[in-house]
Each structure stands twice: as C-alpha cells, then as structure tokens.
Amino acid sequence: MRAFHSLTLGDIILKRMFKQISIIIIIFFTLISCNESFEKLPEKYRSNKYLLKQIKPSSEIEYWQIDYVTFAYSTQTFFSSGNSSLKNKIPVPENQISGGFFGGGHFIFSYYIIMYIENDKWKYVIDEDGLTNFIGKIDNEYEAFLISKINNYSIDSTSNGNGFIKTDYGYKLKVMKYNSCPETKESFIVTVYENGKLKQIKNLGYYLQSGDCIVY
C-alpha cells in the first residue's frame, strides 16, 4: 500500500519563510555588489611602462631593469632598481634572450623584457608566465592590474572597465575585454588573490557595441 504524507500547516509556513529569506539574502548581496565603490586608476598610471615600474620583486633580487624592445631590436632601458654596480661586474650572457612579453603593434612591433641579477647570475623574464612568477605576491593594485593584463583583460578610460578595491585576500578589479571588429567593450569584475591567481567573478555585459571595424 502506498503511503501518502501530507504537509502540515507548520511545514507550509516554514517552506514559505525559507523561500522569502533566500530571496532577501540574494537581493542583499546583489545590492552590496552594485554599491561597491571601485576606485578608478588614473590615466597616467594605466600604461604598461608605469605598471611594470611598480613591481615589488623578491628581496633576493639584487638588481633589475626593464627593457623596451622595438622592431630591428632597438632596446631602451627605461627603468632599473637595486645595486647598479653589479651590472658591470657580472657580464650579460650572449644569446639568452628570445622574445618578450606584452608584444604588440602593427607597423612597429614591440615587447618588454625584464633582466635581473639573483645569486650572482643574470636571469630573464621573456613571457607572461615568467612575469607572473617575477611579480610573486601581489603588493599593490598595479601588480593586480598587471595580472589581469596577463590574463587578457584591459584597463579602460571609463569606470565600466576601470576600478579596484583592496580586499582581505587581494584585489577586486573592474576590467574589460576589447574587440576591434566589430568594436565592442565588455565589462568584467575579477579577483586577483595575493598569490597572483585570478578568478573571474562577474560578466557585467557590453557597454560599447558600435558595429564599426577599427583598423590600425
């Protein structure tokens, strides 16, 4: 014989209360997320060169420099830090550099290289994975934005794709992804943890869809 179990009035009231509480919790956290106050990164701080200069490397690194390499291998050292006397004492090995990171450009291709001295040896950062390791622990919002760039996000001039909040576990960023044809900008919220790991939290959708193709 099949047994039938009917809900009591108390059961019905509890289920309704639980449903209402769940809705209230969802609304509460949604409102918190919408009201978060992101601080915008000023325009002069958004360039690759500025962000790279704000890296706080390990104390074991005795000297480091950032080189900007353009087409025909024209190299410019635009930043250095540490014991510069070591640069002349320890000769740079030949044929150790093959490419770099943050490559770009159409008519003039360019990229960045970080060279550093650790344990009396020259070492190199020539790709995005190496840059992540060189950054190490996230010490400031600039390093957090660099991690977002390594993960193919960009920083916009508007608040839809530009913002940061310091958290107990790292940084929460508002960033964007850009496509030139058709031209679109899509907003995201991501978290960059202190260990350099990035997690996408929310897709806020497109805030620019022009339908045009931008040719550089």
Q: Of how many residues is the chain composed?
A: 216
Ranges assigned E (strand) in 71-130 = 74-82, 101-104, 110-118, 121-125
* Burial class of residue 181 (count of CB atoms within 10 Å of its CB; 0-12, 13-18, 19+): exposed
- The model's pLDDT over 96-148, given as tens digits with 9 standing for 90+, comes to 677 899 988 665 689 999 999 999 999 999 999 999 999 999 999 999 999 99
Please check whether residues 150 and 206 belong to one and the same domain: yes
Please check whether residues 83 and 70 belong to one and the same domain: yes
Please check whether residues 116 and 143 belong to one and the same domain: no
Please check whether residues 127 and 72 belong to one and the same domain: yes
pLDDT at 28: 44
pLDDT at 2 over 80: no
Question: What confidence category does residue 74 fall into, taking pLDDT thresholds of 50, 70 and 90?
Answer: confident
Q: Considering the domain boundaries, does residue 8 fall inside one?
A: no
> Cα separation of 101 and 105, whole Å?
13
Please check whether residues 158 and 216 belong to one and the same domain: yes
pLDDT at 81 over 50: yes
pLDDT at 10 over 80: no
End-of-domain residue from the set 135, 168, 187: 135
Identify the residue with better confidence: 91 or 79: 79
Please check whether residues 155 and 215 belong to one and the same domain: yes
Q: In the chain, how many domains are there?
A: 2
pLDDT at 183: 93
Q: Considering the domain boundaries, does residue 32 fall inside one?
A: no
Q: Considering the domain boundaries, does residue 34 fall inside one?
A: no
- Which domain, by its residues, includes 107? 58-135
